[in-house]
Chains A and B, each alone.
Chain A
Amino acid sequence: MINLTIDGQAVSVPEGSTILEAARQLNLDIPTLCYLKLEQSRYLNQVASCRVCVVEVEGRRNLAPSCVTPVAEGMKVVTNSRRVLSSRRKNLELIISNHPFECLICAKSTDCELQKLVWEFGLNKQRYQGEKSEFPIDMSSGALKRDATKCIMCRRCETMCNSVQTVGALTAFGRGFHTVVSTAEAKPLIETSCTYCGQCVSVCPTAALTGVGNIYDTWSALFNPKKTVIVQVAPAVRVAIGEEFGMAPGEIVTGKLVAGLRRVGFDAIFDTTFGADLTVVEEGHEIIERLTKNEKLPILTSCCPGWINFLEYHFPKLNYMASTCKSPQQMTGAVVKTYYAQKMGLNPEDIVVVSIMPCIAKKYESKLPGEEAYGIRDVDVVLTTRELAKILKESGVDLNHMPEEEFDNPLGQSTGAGVIFGGTGGVLEAALRTVYEKVTGKTLEDVNFTEVRGLIGTREASFDLDGRIVRVAAVSGLGNTRKVLEKIESGEEQYDIIEIMACPGGCVNGGGQPYSKDRDDIVEQRIRALYSIDRGQKIRKSHLNPSVQELYQAYLGEAGSHKAHEILHIVHHAEEKDCCN
Chain B
Amino acid sequence: MPEIRTDEQLIDAYNQFKGLLSSRLGTVTDDTNQLILVCGGTGCHASESNLIVKLFSEQIAAHGMEDKISAEITGCFGFCEKGPIVKVYPENVFYVHVKPSDVAEIFEEHLLKGQKVKRLLYEDPQLKEKIETSENISFYSLQHRVALRNCGLINPEKIEEYLGVRGYQALSRALSMSQQEVIEEMKNSGLRGRGGAGFLTGRKWEFANKYQSDEKFVICNADEGDPGAFMDRSIMEGDSHSVIEGMAIAGYAIGASQGYVYIRAEYPLAVERLQIAIDQARQLGLLGKNILQSGFDFDVSVRLGAGAFVCGEETALIHSLEGLRGEPFTKPPFPAESGLWEKPTIVNNVETLANVPAVFLDGAENFGAIGTKTSKGTKVFALAGKVNNVGLVEVPMGTTLREIIFHIGGGIKDGKEFKAAQTGGPSGGCLPAQFLDTPIDYESLASVGSMMGSGGMIIMSDHDCMVNLARFYMDFIVEESCGRCVPCRIGNKRMLEILTEITEGRGKIEDLRELKTLAETIMDTSLCGLGQTAPNPVLSTLKYFMDEYEAHIIDHRCPAGTCQHLLRYEIIPEKCIGCTSCARGCPVNCISGSVKQIHVIDQTKCIKCGACLTRCKFNAVVRN
Binding site for B on A (CB under 8 A): 47-51, 54, 62-63, 65, 68-70, 83, 86-87, 90-91, 94-95, 97-98, 128, 130-131, 152-153, 172, 174-179
Contacts and interface: CB of A to CB of B under 8 A. Distances in A.
B525 A177 contact: no
B478 A177 contact: yes
B525 A62 contact: yes
Contacts of B466: none
B330 A69 contact: yes
B58 interface: no
B497 A91 contact: no
B481 A68 contact: no
Contacts of A63: 524-525
Contacts of A68: 330
B526 to A, nearest CB: 8
B497 A176 contact: no
Given A48-B330, A54-B525, A91-B525, A177 B486 contact: no
Residue from A48, A62, A87, A177 having most chain B Cβ neighbours under 10 A: A177
25 contacts: A47-B484, A48-B330, A49-B484, A49-B527, A51-B487, A51-B527, A62-B523, A62-B524, A63-B524, A68-B330, A90-B517, A90-B518, A91-B487, A94-B490, A94-B491, A95-B486, A128-B494, A130-B493, A130-B494, A176-B481, A176-B483, A177-B483, A177-B493, A179-B484, A179-B489
B332 interface: yes
Given A62-B532, A177-B483, A179-B483, A51 B525 contact: yes
B485 interface: yes
B534 interface: no
Nearest to B521: A90
A103 to B, nearest CB: 19
What 8 A-B pairs are tightest by C-beta distance, nearest first?
Answer: A179-B483, A90-B521, A94-B490, A130-B497, A51-B525, A176-B481, A177-B493, A87-B521
Given A48-B330, A49-B485, A95-B490, 20 more contacts: A51-B525, A54-B525, A62-B532, A63-B524, A68-B330, A69-B332, A86-B520, A87-B524, A90-B487, A91-B521, A98-B490, A131-B497, A175-B308, A175-B480, A175-B483, A176-B478, A176-B479, A176-B480, A176-B489, A177-B481
A268 B523 CA distance: 62
Contact of A94 (B487, B520, B523): B487
B117 to A, nearest CB: 51
Nearest to B498: A130
Nearest to A96: B490
Secondary structure of the A contact surface, majority rule? loop
B482 interface: yes
B416 interface: no
A285 B500 CA distance: 72
A174 B482 CA distance: 9
B494 A70 contact: no
Given A62-B525, A91-B525, A172 B486 contact: no
A236 B488 CA distance: 43
Interface residues of B, number: 32
Contact of A176 (B482, B524, B526): B482
A343 B596 CA distance: 101
Contacts of B332: 69-70
Nearest to B500: A130
A89 to B, nearest CB: 9
B254 to A, nearest CB: 23
B543 interface: no
B216 to A, nearest CB: 21
Interface of B: 308, 325, 327, 330, 332-333, 478-487, 489-491, 493-494, 497, 517-518, 520-521, 523-527, 532
Secondary structure of the B contact surface, majority rule? helix
A70 B333 CA distance: 9
Nearest to A95: B486
Contacts of A179: 482-484, 489
A49 B528 CA distance: 11
A172 B485 CA distance: 12
Residue from B482, B494, B526 having most chain A Cβ neighbours under 10 A: B494
Contact of B486 (A49, A128, A175, A178): A49
A68 B517 CA distance: 25
A264 to B, nearest CB: 42
Contacts of B526: 51, 62
A90 B488 CA distance: 12
Contacts of A174: 483
A93 to B, nearest CB: 9
Contacts of A51: 485-487, 525-527
A99 to B, nearest CB: 10
A153 B532 CA distance: 19
A63 B485 CA distance: 14
Given A48-B485, A177-B478, A94 B524 contact: no
A152 B483 CA distance: 10
Contacts of B497: 128, 130-131
Residue from B308, B479, B486, B497 having most chain A Cβ neighbours under 10 A: B486
B518 A131 contact: no
A62 B523 CA distance: 8
A566 B526 CA distance: 61
Contacts of A128: 494, 497
Given A48-B330, A62-B523, A131 B483 contact: no
Given A68-B330, A90-B521, A153 B493 contact: no
Contacts of B486: 49-51, 91, 94-95, 152-153
Residue from B330, B491, B521, B523 having most chain A Cβ neighbours under 10 A: B521
B518 A177 contact: no
Contacts of B325: 172, 175
Contacts of B518: 90
A153 B483 contact: yes
A37 to B, nearest CB: 16
B527 to A, nearest CB: 6
A177 B487 contact: no
Contacts of A152: 486
A177 B527 contact: no
A97 B487 CA distance: 12
Contacts of B489: 153, 176-177, 179
A86 B523 CA distance: 13
A133 to B, nearest CB: 10
A63 to B, nearest CB: 5
Contacts of B532: 62
A178 B489 CA distance: 8
Nearest to B333: A70
Contacts of B330: 48, 65, 68-69
B490 A97 contact: yes
A208 to B, nearest CB: 15
Nearest to B494: A128
B521 A175 contact: no
A130 to B, nearest CB: 4
B481 A87 contact: no
Contacts of A97: 490, 494
B443 to A, nearest CB: 15
Contacts of B483: 153, 172, 174-179
Contact of A153 (B484, B491, B517): B484
A87 B478 CA distance: 20
A348 B497 CA distance: 61
Contacts of A90: 487, 491, 517-518, 521
A177 B475 CA distance: 11
Nearest to B492: A177
Contacts of B493: 130-131, 177
A97 B517 CA distance: 16
A176 B493 CA distance: 9
A480 B517 CA distance: 48
A69 B330 CA distance: 8
Contacts of A86: 517, 520-521
Residue from A48, A49, A172 having most chain B Cβ neighbours under 10 A: A49
Contact of B525 (A47, A87, A131, A175): A87
A264 B327 CA distance: 51
